[in-house]
Structure 1
Amino acid sequence: MCYRYLLHTNETFICYTNLIKEQVNGCRPEMELFKEEFIRIKEILKQSPQGMSVTEIARALNKNKHSVGHYLGILLVSGHVQMRNYGKAKVFSLSSRVPLDAMFGYTDDMILVLDQNERVVRINDPFLAIIQQARTEIIGNLFSSLKCGGTAGEEIIERIRESLKTGILDQEIEIKKPALRFYRQKILPAVFDDGKQGMIIVLEDITLKKSAEQALRSSEEKFRLMAENLQDGLIIYENGKITYANSRIEEIFGYTRQELSLFTPSDLAAPDERERVKKIIEECFVSRNIPSDIRFWILRKDGSRRYIYNRITSIEHENSILRYIVITDITEWKHAQDALEDHLGFLQHMIDTFPSPIFYQDTNERFLGCNRSFSKLTGKSFADIAGKTSGEIFDPDTARILSSHDDELVKKPGMLTYTGDINLPGRSKRTITIQKSTFSTKDGAMAGIVGLILPDKEH
């Protein structure tokens, strides 16, 4: 058994069924009267699966267009042909036929077929299982008189009855007992080969799909809740476009999220930073090597400057490239850092004015700094000694003298003075006096040793 069926909107479905009621019954005598013409039209259309216009069919039949249009109207209403519009032209082709046995045998969906009087014509095993009835008790009976052996089946049958009354073709059904399940109900208008109308009711179990959608919505809600409460700004780029930005972004930049979508990172950079940021972005496009972080000054909408720290993570997902950018406003830290560097610069300038060589080391005897006099005496610049021990820089004798007594001071912080001979670059040995003292952190812990060198004759 085969059925022709089409999907329609509610309004179209009601109009379609009314048309069937009014015209199909009236066309049945004509179906017999023009049976030979109908057979010839279907044979012609079979040879042209792409479809033919009324004019083309009339020419092939050697009939006038008016008669052929009348024949096609009857075939269209009876479901034997289908029509589509191409501009002003109407193109006809054979209707698609769906083998019902194939639908019944290769799907887990529940399927019920009703005739024009809403009597049950066919029903598959999944539908029988839900209503807990034998097929012999169902076939040929009115749908309105169906009885079910289970709560779920009763609720499903009642919802279908409501749909038949209201003309709702496509809807979701929620069944709460005995267990919560969701179904997608579709009612498809059908026309049998004899021209009689009917309908196919399909119920798809979408419980797993609904559960997955609910889990996804819950996950998205948790993500948004987390993202909107971050102290940092968060932007997600997908294939070069902003797909998400949290509210903190607006606070940092002073622009709305919609306004920010119109800017590039270099547009938001302060004028003195713009070229640097633009160059970094251009290099990223060329090398495909995205930096893990970048810091620069921005110019807010109100004209104020802020210093931001951007951490970038790139992820390839299916055919897309996702970039997560976490943005932290570190303006206060930047001001503090600049102030500290200014202070250190002042201290360096101050010790550089001392005529005697000065150096300072951490508790592991690694050099933290020195003044110009020390560099002049040893022939080593600050860059040469920074982070290194005496043994890594000087000859063994000089290294031994410079690091002498350091263990004692680490064990017992304070001050001591001693004399020793060092090898000076380009000169012979020279006897010097070294005065060492310890310095501490703000909480009193020992931080390192400061050394002051005086020539022996000045001691």
Structure 2
Amino acid sequence: MTGKFTEMGKIREIIAQNPKGMSITEIADTLHIHRNTAARHLDILMLRGDVDSKQTGPAKNYYPARRMPVGALLAFFDEPAVILSRRMEVTQANRLALELFGCGMDALYAIHLGELPHSLFRDDRVLEGVRQAVHGNPGDLRMQARVRGEKRVLHLRFVPVVLENGKEGCAVTFADETEYREAKEHAGDWHERYAALARDQTESIVHLKPDITITFANPAFCRRTGRSGDELRGLRFLPMVSAEGRERVKDILSSLSPEQPSRTVEVRTVRPDGTLAWEEWTFRALFGEAARVTGFHATGRDITQLRNCTEQLRQYHQNLEALIAERIREMQTANRSLLEVIAEKEALEREILFTQFAFDHASDSILLFDAAGRVYKANRTAEELLGFRPDEIGAITVFDVNPSISQEEWERMWTAAVPGRKERSLSVHRRKDGTIIDVEVSRTFVQYDDRMYFCSIAREVGKNTS
């Protein structure tokens, strides 16, 4: 028995050394064994998926192969699987595959791949993947397909296999990634919301890896360091803290646990101009499996003025009471001014948000175009009128919207542009689906700083907008 396995091992080795193929005679002569013995060993190796054969004229050549025995695949794969012969006919299908496609084995057995009652099997990419796998070349494919009336995202794997009769075949496995894709999209949505929130924060927000390198920094931190987010990404956070504060930050980070996930510390930091400032930072550890730290979320604010005020108060306390009272009044005045500034900022932010809301929800379509004719800004009414999604409308031009405007007419309009002069006219707009609609248009050129835009306010003629 040991000699038998030794001979098969040697056959596998010499075939691997001759990828162009060897005949039974060449193998038998090389190993000095009987031709029939070599043939029996080769049959076993083919059943195991270690060797492939190909008829070349009157002789059959054997090549190295990596095929999985079909029995092993069906036993260990927990995904829907369909087994096909060299002729691309179904020979087997596991229970999960029958459940996936909602049919019995009698609807699949001995049916050619291209004649199966499911459109995905007639896809040229699937047919080519099966052909390649039958010839020993594995592959995979991600595609969208309707399965039992539902649109699904499937990951197909084409696995070269050895059938139970020793012939070459292919196994097609199906992994349903629909829920994964949907979850990934939802995660992307939440990431965008978080990024938008972080952009508006006046406090510094930083994400750190376990090794304390920066992976994300919001605009406030970028302004504080005088660097862009791309420049900060990958840099270590600690060099931005003064030397005496680095050990404190390290100690705090190493002490965080699921029971105490966050701590706050005041440290001196180095400004871009080299001066020192006082900042208050709160570090929160993020934990994965087995309470392993996967990163840190850090928020910081400049408390230099507060610390300076505290120091001044300490010094003033040592002086005359009158001086202390005067300084207190100055601080109160400064605080009132700060509150007024904050109130003004909040009012301005509310005004900006209201203006954006009013712009988006205006009853008329509003489009702003730059000098090249590209859409600079559009409200939701314009998107609905023209039938474009928010991510699509920015890619269209004035010539897509109004087919009556030529390049020459557009250039003439800009040459004669007078900011603030309004024109009303009847015109046409073209929707995404090609429909031409009549519209009443109010046109004007608006200038902001050193840039000018063409503003088109339109409503569909005859449509009740009440």
TM-score (normalizing by structure 1): 0.49
- Name which one, 1 or 2, has greater alpha-carbon Rg: 1
TM-score (normalizing by structure 2): 0.48
Question: Per chain length, whose mean CA-contact separation is higher, i.e. which structure has more relative contact order (CA < 8 Å, sep 6+)?
Answer: 1
